Structure 1
Amino acid sequence: MAKAAILEQPGEGLIIGDVQISDPAPHEVLIDTKACGLCHSDLHFIDGAYPHPLPAIPGHEAAGVVRAVGSEVKTVKPGDHVVSCLSAFCGHCEFCVTGRMALCLGGDTRRAPDATPRIHRPDGS
């Protein structure tokens, strides 16, 4: 169980609530977040200027320690100190496999709209 600042409705601020985080899928990393910033893009989600599925947990500029990794993760291990990045990388193209993720050819790796959420409230929502 973890605490999170949750956006329920735009313009209503954030509420602090309990969440459960799923174990990492094969290409995912679970991080114990030690610090997280909110930037202007987060503020635009919070005030409703950027539509986003709700509820949501803003904050994509984080630093922490790797708690667990999925079975296909090869570049970090539990205990490593890491920072998060807003950019998405495919992990498979010639640039990703040579450590040049900024040049990724397949960066549109966001979750599909019907993908199972990785974070849940205690009631399953």
Structure 2
Amino acid sequence: MGCVGNEETQLIAESVTEEGQEFLSSLRRWLLQDTDPSVISIDATNRGRRPGEMSGTFDTVCAVASQISSLGGLAIAYLTWRSSIRTEAADLRVTLEVHGQRIQIDNLTDEQLRDVISRVCAREVE
């Protein structure tokens, strides 16, 4: 599942359990506060409410970077959020999608994620 539209650079966080929705809410709030809305748009969707579920919940947060140079800021915002929660958000699946290529990043260390971002951005410069 990607974001709506033909955006080429996006971070997608999906809840894999009901408990993951709390992490999604936290991540969404963090990204809204910590990213520049002129270059990164944040959206949340719900694939469909389940019986008895409150309407304010969602199961996907999507952040779209309007330019590849914004990807670093988006990744740093994600890393900062991840370290701030002081617990592993195992209930989330987080991927980067760049030009249709998906890279799962929720299981990467901070150093590994920085390396991935560096390689992606270096490819754009070539």
TM bucket normalised to smaller: under 0.3
Whichever of the two has the greater Rg, that structure is 1
Give the number of the structure with larger relative contact order, counting CA–CA contacts within 8 Å between residues 6 or more apart. 2
* Structure whose residues are more often helix by fraction: 2
Report the TM-score, using the length of structure 2 for normalisation. Answer: 0.24
* Structure whose residues are more often strand by fraction: 1
